[in-house]
Amino acid sequence: MRLLLLWIFSIILIAGAPASAQTSVKMQAPAINGDNNTVIYGNNNTVIYGAYDLRNAIINFNPAVIRDYAIAGSLDTISAVFQEPGMARKFVEMLKSSGETPILAGLLKRGLNPNLLVRAPDSSSETLEVAAFMSGNADAMVELLERGALPHGYQDLPLDPTARPFFIYPIYRVLSDQRFSTEEKEKIVAAMMRQGVLLDASESSPKVAKTTRQAFDLAKQYSINRGSSVSDCPEKGLNAKCVVGGPICTSQNSVPKRIHQKPGSFRYAEYENLDLVGSLGVFAGREYYLYLAPQGWSGHLVLAEYSADRATVNLMKYQSDHMAGMGVCKAEPDGYVPDECWRSLQVEIDRESGDVALSGSSTFTATFCN
């Protein structure tokens, strides 16, 4: 009987204790994966949404769920959802329409990669910055840039003579886009210039050159350093100019400013006299640079993919559909021959002589900054 009374008394004491005195049991969150529905997380029953809920919130325009998710949701899950075609753009569009762009700031503060590669509606790759641009969200673009996004964010696009893709000509694309107000354009350009956007433009691209002058004017107006430039190739070593420009200028000091074919060698017209335009950043351990061939076929663009040691480089030109039927694209494993493809040419760089040797009978020469 005494034991029974003691047990009843202890139950009464526990029930009457204040909430702060009760012992809580911390519950570990189950893995959020695939199409998980709502789960319970932590010792305060905070609701965390799985990929299924997050996807539906983006599609159905539900910023309340996104707001909760930004506080404690899995960054791996949101990164995975953004790999679904068009989801990243829908997300940024929703933030703009609802005035909830600070949600993106919260995710970036928690560690979301500002240079995250996502899927566009056509399943091509683009960075979050490009997705924000295509969605017309100026505040999101500025937030991403201020959190470390590359001004020349990666984007899969045909590099033909008429293409003005964002990741190559960000200043031109922003200043010529009617979705942004004059004030928004100035804010975006200012953020890009603080991140060292490349402003050089070929004389064969007058539209780009015109917007470049506008960018310089904005920089002067807002006292912004214009960052690195191909024309500002530094002397050997790291000087103040290069420090201001950041990693783009530093890496340009180690890649050819000009690549051309030696007289008498087998000619590749699409890779003739390549002039460096600028750096497009580092992705998957490889550096990407843009070159212009002003004397080739209509002054086309060439993408250069450098290995980590910069000993080899792939020169890539996009073959658009107007080349269909000419047999320039390789057949895929199933036998299908696409009309559009990247045509690649691999060369090796001799750091001492400056020669760029082609795998074949043609020899290229490289002119370095220093």
Model pLDDT for residues 158-176, shown as the tens digit of each residue:
555 445 566 666 877 788 7
And the tokens for 19? Answer: 């909430």
Distances (CA, A) of 366 to 230, 233, 261, 331, 369: 15, 15, 9, 32, 10
The residue length of the chain stands at 370
Q: What is the pLDDT of residues 249-280, one digit of tens each?
A: 445 556 777 777 666 666 666 676 777 776 77
255 in Cβ contact with 287 (< 8 Å) = yes
Q: Which pLDDT value is given to residue 147?
A: 94
* pTM higher than the cut 0.85: no
DSSP 185: H
Least confident of 92-101, 124-133, 181-190, 361-370: 361-370
Q: Which amino acid is at 255?
A: V
Tell me, what amino acid is at 206?
Answer: P
